[in-house]
Amino acid sequence: MPPLTPQRRNLVLLLVLGLGLALMPAVASRYYIYFTALILVTGLLATSLNMVLGFGGMYQFHHAVFYGLGAYAAALTLNKTALWPWLGLLAGPLAAALLSLVMGLICLRLSKLYFGMLQISLGSLVWAIVFRWYSFTGGDDGIHGITLPSAIAGITGSYYFVLAVTAVCLFLMHRVITSPFGQTFQAIRDNPERAAALGVPVRRHQLLGLVIAGFFGGVAGVLFMAVENSVFPDLLFWTLSLEVLVMCLLGGWYTFLGPMLGAAIIVSLRTVVGIYTEYWTLVLGVILMLLIFFLPQGVLGYLLSRWQGPGQPALAKDK
Amino acid sequence: MEIASHITLAALGQQILVGLSRTTILFIVSSGLSLILGVLRIPNVSHGSLYMIGAFATYSVATLIGGTTGFWLALVLAPLLVALLSLVVERGLFCHLYEREHLMLLLFTFSLTLVFGDLVKLVWGSDFRSLSLPPTIQGSFTLLGLPFPRYNLFLLVLGPLVAWGLWFLTNRTKIGKIARAAAVDREMVAAMGINVSWIFAAVFCIGCFLAGLGGALVAPTQNITQGMGHAIIMEGFLIVIIGGLGNIWGALLGALIFGLTDAVGILVWPQFAIVFPYLAVVVVLLFRPRGLLRSTW
């Protein structure tokens, strides 16, 4: 038997996890299938945010706007056009990527906190339009009863759809991060001036990073729509964005799978806490405070630094 | 979706006056936001929640004491209560985090938003409240042949007063000068033997006081709801951005642009009035990405 190197160990872990997730609908109840799908969708959203946040060092404060827009674009295309439904689903990520491009062009004239504040404000404008445009988006009611392709209309079908798409997206995002583009992107995060001095077109890389993240955010939105069979304006409200940011922080935003773990923890906690009390946001607020004070590198970041000992890359510091 | 085709001059004039009253509240809230941004370098997301607490507290004090005195007393007490709350949070928790990166500070203020939101639900319940003006302040006078509420006139007078007060505080008082110096070079100020930590606490408190004051002033003009803080914080951010981060006059200018485009927008296209101020913001930022006036950053 070959020696168990960390790479092999990780591969085995991933395979076991994947197999478990693939077999889940056979054993678990309908509720747990839905619950797992929700974790995967939210995790995909958090991972897509972390592409620009953790690996790009960009303060994308309002990422949920791409999630929501993706969900709405797909829902509207499915309900209002006679397009082949699978093609309609593609409208989600494309619309999100386009919005990301436009917002990026405006916001990238600024950096860091300025960028983030402008981004969250422009995202709120999109929310306001969706919220008010009753005749087109359904306003605050949202859109219910979306005609999905029959293969993914049921809970099991939509679960496998979510699982497959999430797996493919995670693989693709990992490829992006480890590609030369991804390496340059991280170099820009660590030292934009030096990267620029080396001849890297910083803005263009950042813009591309934003578009990619927006695209995958849109994919997550479409998946949510497929699971929930409805869309509503809360999907692109700014509090959701900050909640997703918390997931990245909780999991550890200098790790690739951290945000997925953070999403799993938050979504599970919300469900469990929700049974006992209606004050979930209070609990979330306290968790966030504790996290900031005691575990700023996140759960996965902490575990990795424990397992692999010192010598791990120091967590990037701002300033 | 109906776009008004003919707008009378008188209606426009009245709408502008209403817009100016709205501007006052926007200015007071965003000047507090700007002050904290300028000195402490923190986008205080919980500013909207403090505004909401200010409004709820005004309701409680005003109905508890009752009458005209109760109302005026509430306008004073509610912001002070908010300031006290912010002082406790700042000294107890926030002051240990100043060395952290911006993102952590922002997330900390977000955690405050979450906690405050549910605390308001615990204390006041989830129903909305409405506070009516005491009879002595009710009523309106005629301007250009159209009625204009007296309370709005009060707001119009108060706005410039607050602006002047803030200018005086930051430019003419010792604490203001130290705060401005600390914003530029914190360590240098500390090396002069000045306790910067307490200066920051004071600035944070004053900023939050203004959030509470904004909430108190808005209380009699609209329903006091759980979500009212969520809307104002985004508007506040935008105003601060187009004005220039940390610049008090910028906040005034930004609030004017925001309040007036909103008021005129309601006249032109009621359903999408909310879009007009945002469009104004985009236009401003396309030409001046760092805001209209000089940022203190």
Q: What is the pLDDT of residues A119-166, one digit of tens each?
A: 888 898 899 889 888 888 888 888 888 888 888 888 888 999 999 999
In this predicted structure, what is the pLDDT of residue A11?
A: 83
Question: What global pTM score does this model have?
Answer: 0.87
Q: Quick check: A65 pLDDT over 80? A: yes
Q: What is the mean pLDDT of residues B136-143?
A: 76
Contacts of A225 (CB under 8 A, 6+ apart): A71, A74, A75, A92, A146, A231
Of B97, B118, B237, nearest to A281 by CB-CB distance is: B118
- Nearest of B214, B212, B218, B186 to residue B199 by alpha carbon: B186
Cβ within 8 Å of A, B 223-282 = 230, 234, 237-238, 240-241, 245, 271-272, 274-275, 278, 281-282
Is B123's Cβ below 8 Å from some Cβ in A? no
Is A125's Cβ below 8 Å from some Cβ in B? yes
Q: Quick check: B188 pLDDT over 80? A: yes
Q: Give domain status of residue A288, yes or no.
A: no
Q: Which residue has the higher pLDDT, B10 or A206?
A: A206
Q: What is the mean pLDDT of residues B151-160?
A: 89
Neighbours of B204 (CB within 10 A): 25
Q: How confident is the model at residue A297 (pLDDT cuts 50, 70, 90)?
A: confident
Is B144's Cβ below 8 Å from some Cβ in A? no
Longest dimension (CA), chain A: 64
Residue B214 belongs to domain spanning: 9-287
Q: Give domain status of residue A197, yes or no.
A: yes
In this predicted structure, what is the pLDDT of residue A24?
A: 83
Total count of domains within chain B: 1
Tokens 């005129």 identify what position?
B264
Q: Which residue has the higher pLDDT, A21 or A215?
A: A215
Q: How confident is the model at residue A319 (pLDDT cuts 50, 70, 90)?
A: very low
Measured torsion, CA atoms of residues B138, B13, B17, B35, in degrees rounded to the nearest 10: 170
Q: What is the mean pLDDT of residues B232-241?
A: 89
Is A269's Cβ below 8 Å from some Cβ in B? no
Q: What is the pLDDT of residues B280-293, one digit of tens each?
A: 888 888 788 788 88
Q: Which residue has the higher pLDDT, B138 or A251?
A: A251
Q: Give domain status of residue A1, yes or no.
A: no
Contacts of B170 (CB under 8 A, 6+ apart): B35, B176, B177, B179, B180, B248
Contact criterion met (CB below 8 Å) for A56 and A204: no
Looking at residue A234, the DSSP 8-state letter turns out to be G
Is B83's Cβ below 8 Å from some Cβ in A? no
Mean model confidence pLDDT for chain B: 87
Q: Give domain status of residue A164, yes or no.
A: yes
Q: Give domain status of residue B295, yes or no.
A: no
Give me the residues paired with residue B142 across strands.
Answer: B147
Q: Give domain status of residue B249, yes or no.
A: yes
Q: Give domain status of residue B294, yes or no.
A: no
Provide the CATH number for the domain around residue B223.
Answer: 1.10.3470
Q: Give domain status of residue A44, yes or no.
A: yes
Q: How confident is the model at residue B276 (pLDDT cuts 50, 70, 90)?
A: confident
Q: Which residue has the higher pLDDT, A312 or A257?
A: A257
Neighbours of B100 (CB within 10 A): 17
Q: Give domain status of residue A55, yes or no.
A: yes
Residue type for A166, please? T
Q: Give domain status of residue B202, yes or no.
A: yes
Would you call B111 and A106 a contact, using CB atoms and an 8 Å cutoff? no
| Range picked from A26-30, A104-108, A153-157 for highest mean pLDDT | A104-108
Would you call A124 and B234 a contact, using CB atoms and an 8 Å cutoff? yes
Residue A200 belongs to domain spanning: 25-237
Cβ within 8 Å of B, A 34-93 = 59, 61
Q: What is the mean pLDDT of residues B138-166?
A: 84
In B169-201, which positions are buried (b, 16+ CB within 10 angstroms) versus exposed (e)?
bbeeeeebebbbbbbeebeebeeeeeebeebbb
Contacts of A199 (CB under 8 A, 6+ apart): none
Contact criterion met (CB below 8 Å) for A11 and A136: no
What's the helix, strand, coil split of chain B in %, to 5? 75, 5, 20
Of A132, A238, A249, nearest to B234 by CB-CB distance is: A238
Contact criterion met (CB below 8 Å) for A104 and A206: yes
In this predicted structure, what is the pLDDT of residue B286?
A: 77
- Nearest of A221, A208, A173, A191 to residue A50 by alpha carbon: A173
Contact criterion met (CB below 8 Å) for B37 and B246: yes
Q: What percent of chain B has pLDDT over 70?
A: 96
Total count of domains within chain A: 1
- Nearest of A154, A178, A201 to residue A37 by alpha carbon: A154
Looking at residue A316, the DSSP 8-state letter turns out to be P
What's the helix, strand, coil split of chain A in %, to 5? 75, 0, 20
In this predicted structure, what is the pLDDT of residue A210?
A: 96
Rounded Cα gap, residues B83 and B74, in angstroms: 14
Would you call B241 and A288 a contact, using CB atoms and an 8 Å cutoff? no
Q: Give domain status of residue A318, yes or no.
A: no
Q: What is the mean pLDDT of residues B43-49?
A: 92
Q: Give domain status of residue B252, yes or no.
A: yes
Q: Give domain status of residue B95, yes or no.
A: yes
Q: Give domain status of residue B297, yes or no.
A: no
Indicate if ipTM > 0.95. Answer: no
Q: Give domain status of residue A63, yes or no.
A: yes
Q: Quick check: A185 pLDDT over 80? A: yes
- Beta strands at A230-231 and A143-144: parallel, antiparallel or unpaired: antiparallel
Mean model confidence pLDDT for chain A: 87
Q: Quick check: A62 pLDDT over 90? A: yes
In this predicted structure, what is the pLDDT of residue B41?
A: 84
| Angle formed by the axes of helices B228-243 and B9-40, nearest 10° | 80
Which of A274-288, B33-47, B140-154, B219-233 is the least confident region?
B140-154
Q: How confident is the model at residue A184 (pLDDT cuts 50, 70, 90)?
A: very high
Q: How far is A97 from chain B (nearest CA, A)?
A: 20
In this predicted structure, what is the pLDDT of residue B96?
A: 87
| Angle formed by the axes of helices A6-27 and A155-178, nearest 10° | 160
φ and ψ at residue B142, rounded to 5 degrees: -95, 135
Q: Give domain status of residue B78, yes or no.
A: yes
